[in-house]
Structure 1
């Protein structure tokens, strides 16, 4: 028999911190590179940024998913707890807190790393983004992300989570006016880079509030479509299974 025993909390937190750090480094670093290589074409800059983020996120989920589930996002961790809580599945509320701390710290360090790699000073962004259209976009982007993740977990298609989530975020760069942050840890991290991908501190709280609302919409939609979605909470974003316990 195969016994799905999760890795230790320390290992999972390391994976979440490293994964979120690399995700933010990819977002900011590719934004800086795009701005440098295509200085006169904002559309091309966004395309380059979106492609790098979609590919990078896919690889990070494949690499770290078996350790922590590859949440890299506090609202994903919170949704995992919410849908699984009544069935004793998914993260505990305490684990959501520790995951979120690791993700936020990782995201902030990832921003600093990107700045260092491109010899850009680490400074608070001056890019104000909190318009009504952007906040609606964050609700939509986050709701879609949560629905994609929970739907794939519930229908046993976790193997598709990496490319599906990467593709969704890449697409959402273009169909939302906010360019789909959809992640409080990434939002906070991007505050520390005054570059193409940055966000001003004054826009952070409204963006996070919109993302939390989007999470609620996504959870409600997922449960309406799949009432027993909570049964698969242990498989969000992908199942975290210790290799020593993966033998029959």
Structure 2
């Protein structure tokens, strides 16, 4: 069974004021899922997550933990208490780290009486090129084979899904299965610049290859009309999934 999730808005801003200035363009009734990452979380702390949740938004807390297993477990216990919908680790941290991350989320969520977040493992960042994989990471695998290998490791270690380029989703579904989340950043409208993302797709293309959930940042944030752009991309995503 394939998972079909939201179109997540990635709000890589540095301040609380910038975050809510953007969000307040939308109707208060709009059910948004907001991704916040290191820049905002390190500046504002857990309170910013609680404020978003209290306003009725779902939160993807993208901190990409990567450390020894016990350290990651303890960090994930704190994240598990918050009540966010998604969070991340690096798959390159290995099986023990991923497993302990999952245990930490479960324990923290149980203590707080909330649902544990879905644990997503980052395979290869969308900024990594095949040349970088070969020459900097010294991997003998192709990009697709590397991503499939990391995704299988993540699934076997208890993760709920992976963050991956849309260009690898078809191979992942074939190798890893449909009972897993394939969350894809690097989503761009047609003719939008790639910026520093080297492996991108439109919402319709991502839906066609089997992405579970999309993450979109600059194309929405930098649009002249962010609300209209969000709705246009959401409609494209939803219609392609039917």
Report the TM-score when normalising by structure 2: 0.26
Higher helix residue share: 1
- If the length of structure 1 is used for normalisation, what is the TM-score? 0.26
- Higher strand fraction (1 or 2): 2
